[in-house]
Structure 1
Amino acid sequence: MGSDAYLAAVRSRRSYYELEARSTIPDAKIQEIVKETLRHTPSTFNSQSTRVVLLLGAEHTQLWNDIVKPAVKAVMPAEGWPATEAKLTGFQQSYGTVLLYEDPKVVSALQVQYALFADKFPQWSEHTNAMHAHVLWTALEQEGLGASLQHYNPLIDEGICKQWKIPEDWQLKAQLVFGKPTGQPLEKTFMPIEERLKVFGAK
């Protein structure tokens, strides 16, 4: 695959919020995509610090209905809750959720092993997790699924740990919600490239 085909996939990755609880591919294929993402996405010093929890079916529904909604409602002003509840119901009615974590034990070990860069490893861990999110998001959309990246942590961390016995020291970074699109993404606007790019020495 040349760069044109790869960049076409990158361009097609968008935030889809109108999703339904159907998938264009079998669950086994979704799991394969997650596994390949974990195997081949770059990580700092090949640390492989990213951890993933895949929730499908009733487990996905339980996340949004029984954990996210109560946690958010508890801190949400009453007048803002109806709109937020509708948004969360939309996520609940999609097909699945990928929970993206980082394992701090891996980061701490690198800080000890490479003390010169100790203050940088937490930031690099964030970079690692973001790359996993982007690779997985793009791959799912290449299969005809839509997705959006959400961040309801840390409100939901404790409930998730209790429900699925996730190690308490894992740090939840994002929730990738996906399903079959029933609508189109919003129009995307772009800043002038000239404001974002400098090139020196090109021929």
Structure 2
Amino acid sequence: MTRAFEKPRGGRRAGGGPASRRRTGAGDAATPRRWDPRHRLPRHWPLLAALIPTLGPAGPLQAQYTEYVTERDVMVQARDGVALATDIHRPARGGVAVSDRLPILLQRTPYGKHTERFLEAIEAFTAAGYIVAIQDMRGRYGSEGTFVKYHDYDAPEGYDTIEYLARLPYVDGQVGMWGTSYG
């Protein structure tokens, strides 16, 4: 059996072209798509969310809540004193955050935490009983400091943020991260 990533026997691709590179048209299904930070998450992403085994029971996400409330620009202090702007989205009932202690999912992004690209994820995760925190990285949007891509402070600031979130009174101590590529 030939898999999509294996070269078929006989030196030819399944599409009939030579085994070497074959150009495809813009509308061709074989054309690779590049990630654009303005794109929303694909519709099948909740299946990926079900793969977070450390944060709850195995299985697909099930809606428990129909609303969420947002606390904007919570400033999380990094170890060097830089404040990192973080939005925290909590499941709610009747416009009021639930009092249950729940697990929290963190995404750190250089692309702006207020963008529409996160709406679908926030809605699905909060409906399933997760708190969602989205943070602007150092020097980006609402956060202090100077942004330098792939800098040594990225990991310590992620650690500091996880420690901060785990201690929130409405978090059960479990913190997970999600995201794609750089954010």
**Fold-level match, TM-score > 0.5?**
no
Larger Rg: 2
TM-score normalised to the size of structure 1? 0.31
Bigger strand fraction: 2
Per the normalisation by structure 2, the TM-score is: 0.33
